[in-house]
Structure 1
Amino acid sequence: GEYIRAATMKGYGVTLYVGLGVPIPITDLDMVRRTAVRDEDIEVDIIDYGVPQRSRPSLGRVNYAELKSGYIEIGGEEIRTSSLSSFRRARQVAQELKLWIETGKMEMLLPTRPIDPAKSAQPMRETVQGPRVLDIMDTRVISIMETEEIAAAARKLLKGETNHLPVLDGGGRLVGIVTTYDISKAVVNPAKGTRVMDIMKRKVVTTVPDEAVDIAVQKLELHNISALPVVDHERRVIGMLTAMNLGKLFGGRWLK
């Protein structure tokens, strides 16, 4: 019981902290190189456990050196970090493992059989599932081709009563997005170009139909945007998720 602690995480629920030590036998130079890594070389994703779903979003990628510094940056904001346990306790676990091996309590043996890579664990069934993007997305999508004139994009934005136009290539795949703000800038600075491809944003944040709305909301907040194109596996736009859709779902909170 010394290395096991009960815990709770906000938005996640109850969990368990387990102190786990894995002895790695150093048998050759290759193993020395693999284990002699610096904190800067070990990278991990920052996972949001506040999202009640197995496929939780990654808020960013950092290395161990950044985590140990006490602060990391997420979305331009500085966040404090700390270990769940301590380096002192980690060394204590390592020393105890060493003692077990030296006294014969634990023996370093060759594996009795390899793990079958074809088998997989079956996760527990999710009893409660939140709304998905496909449940609230707008399937009426107004888009434009990247080779069309900026004036055509302006007309579509006005006629379609929307602020976002997904931009498609010749194969109908998403390659960018244009907003009313982009059109306004193009009018002020006409020298930038005359076609949609000249002013569109090429890095488009997207979502997929079966993604949880919670994760889509995280994307909107993280990137400070108000709409997400919904794409299939071929990057074809099949819907739009906007603040209006979320406002209907969350009782107007996103419309303020």
Structure 2
Amino acid sequence: MVTALLVDDEPLANARMQELLAAHPEIEVIGVAGSLKAARDFLETRAPDVVFLDVEMPGGSGLNLLASVPDVTQVVFVTAREKYAVQAFQVAALDYLVKPVDPERLADTVARIRKQTASGQSRPDSASETEVEPDANEAAGAIEDAALRLDDSVSVPLADKAFSGVVTIGDICWIEALRAFTRVALKGPPRLVLFRRRLSDWDKILPADSFARIGRSYLVHLALAEQVEWDSRRETLVMFGEGVEPLTLGRLPAMRLREILGGTA
């Protein structure tokens, strides 16, 4: 059983999240806080496995809660605004959900929570993800409507100067939609890159014979998938080799992947 704390100043938002999580019996909501102070007080005596946290709260930001309570292991930000996504991943959020929360998207989040909890890991190392801030010229030049080849590269400005800023299309293992952003898993360092680009934009330019659209949230480079661990009940793991972050799929995306692979396990 995974224990959870809900933190949102809107009672209806907390009630809605409880309703959505009721479809996932492996998640037990052990606390509901309507303010940052109430959340801090709760976390002084209890240690939930995951905190579902709003960003804009009266008296401060949910982002500041992590600084004042450093022992929080897993955090999922739930907010009505997309603009905090980069900040959320800088503080190593496990996921970022935008209200109104889509049940299918939440199912993917729950699958990731279960995987993280089972492995005994704390919040992911934020240093392993690189923030990408493309400028106006990139939209007009680096990514065009014409389909790219696997040996093509995408050049983007990065916050991390240690990375060259060039991503080879053939090195992309999977892409996950995060509303106005996408998280991209690569074969080589940096392993995870956060782009300010929608999944639909990637879908237009990636080679269709190599990348498969899995539901509304994922693009998968099928040739790089080395193993698929099927679990019809809750989650499916797609493995891409040593050092590459596995892709965790909920039930519906996993069903779509099985269809694409012709029902093979």
Sort the TM-score into its range (normalised by shorter chain).
Answer: under 0.3
TM-score, normalised to structure 2, is 0.19
TM-score, normalised to structure 1, is 0.19
If asked which structure has higher relative contact order (CA below 8 Å, sep 6+), I would say 1
